[in-house]
Amino acid sequence: LVSRKKKPEDTVVEIKGEKVGNGTPSFVMGPCAVESYEQVSEVAKAVKAEGLTLLRGGAFKPRTSPYDFQGLGLEGLKILKQAADEQGLAVVSEIVNPGDLEEALEYLDVIQIGARNMQNFELLKAAGSVNKPVLLKRGLSATISEFINAAEYIISRGNENIILCERGIRTYEKATRNTLDISAVPILKQETHLPVMVDVTHSTGRRDLLLPTAKAALAVGADGVMAEVHPDPAVALSDSAQQMDIPTFHSFMEELKK
């Protein structure tokens, strides 16, 4: 059902008036994790000031180590929603447990399914059964075909509002956190009718590469870019090395607008 052979025209995913996949790039910006109201509120104001509409922030964080900050859970989602509502923004946040989905629906506008859960089939089925857009990230070592099949799980349950997100894959290369598979963008655009975004933060893991990779993403036809922004990345509770501070975020947007 996600195949372009089945549906030749582009799917446009509408999120509170923002149309992802309509030819104008969309941006999903915000901190890695929701840490406090003050933190997300400062980022929400900056996102609004750039004329953007989609605010991200992790409340349920899938961390490699069980001893790292696990996120504020539902409380974090409520904080994010409050900060987003105050600026008229839409909320994009990850759900890791299908059991949390129903309660979370009240607080989010886009259900993010993270790389580690791309093949959590019960979560995919749950997200496919509700009436909310889904931002599906490519698995850490998933082939494009496996990625497309994961989207198929969602659409086959009735939810066709899916945004695919390339976020880098694991290779032998260690200069970047993951290897951004830029060619996945035009391949996914050719093979599916879904909008495709690129997460430049988790793919590169390097602040100095956010702007060039975002330019590359838009040049190859991505419908949008995701990146992380934190008021003070040095003290961030997760992904401290790769989040942009607010002045850097403004110059990042300025450069991309050119």
Q: Give the interface with ligand PEP as residue ranges (CB under 6 A).
A: 32, 58, 62, 94, 114-116, 137, 167, 199, 202
Q: How far is the CB of 79 from Mn ion (least distance, A)?
A: 17
* Residue corresponding to tokens 């004329």: 51
Please count the residues of this chain forming the interface with Mn ion, following the rule CB under 5 A. 2
* Residue corresponding to tokens 């941006």: 27
Binding partner of residue 81 among ligand PEP, Mn ion, none, CB cut-off 5 to 8 Å per kind: none
Nearer to ligand PEP, 138 or 193 (CB): 138
Nearer to ligand PEP, 10 or 73 (CB): 73
- For every residue of 155-196, DSSP letters joined together read HTTT---EEEEE--B--S--SSSSB--TTHHHHHHHHBSS-E
Which DSSP state fits 116?
Answer: G
Tokens found for residue 31: 């901190």
Judged by CB under 5 A, the residue of 239, 244, 249, 252 near Mn ion is 239
Q: What is the spatial distance between Cα 63 and Cα 71, in angstroms, rounded to a whole number?
A: 9
Footprint (CB under 5 A) of Mn ion, residues 2-61: 32
Q: What are φ and ψ of residue 41, in 5° steps?
A: -65, -40
Nearer to Mn ion, 130 or 237 (CB): 237
The radius of gyration of the chain from alpha carbons, rounded to an integer in Å, stands at 17
Under a CB-based contact definition with an 8 Å cutoff, are residues 37 and 79 in contact?
A: yes
Binding partner of residue 177 among ligand PEP, Mn ion, none, CB cut-off 5 to 8 Å per kind: none
Q: Which residue's beta carbon is nearest to the bound ligand PEP? A: 114
Nearer to ligand PEP, 71 or 128 (CB): 71
Nearer to Mn ion, 193 or 230 (CB): 230
Q: What are φ and ψ of residue 177, in 5° steps?
A: -60, -45
Q: For residue 181, state whether it binds Mn ion (rule: CB under 5 A).
A: no
What residues make contact with Mn ion under the rule CB under 5 A? 32, 239
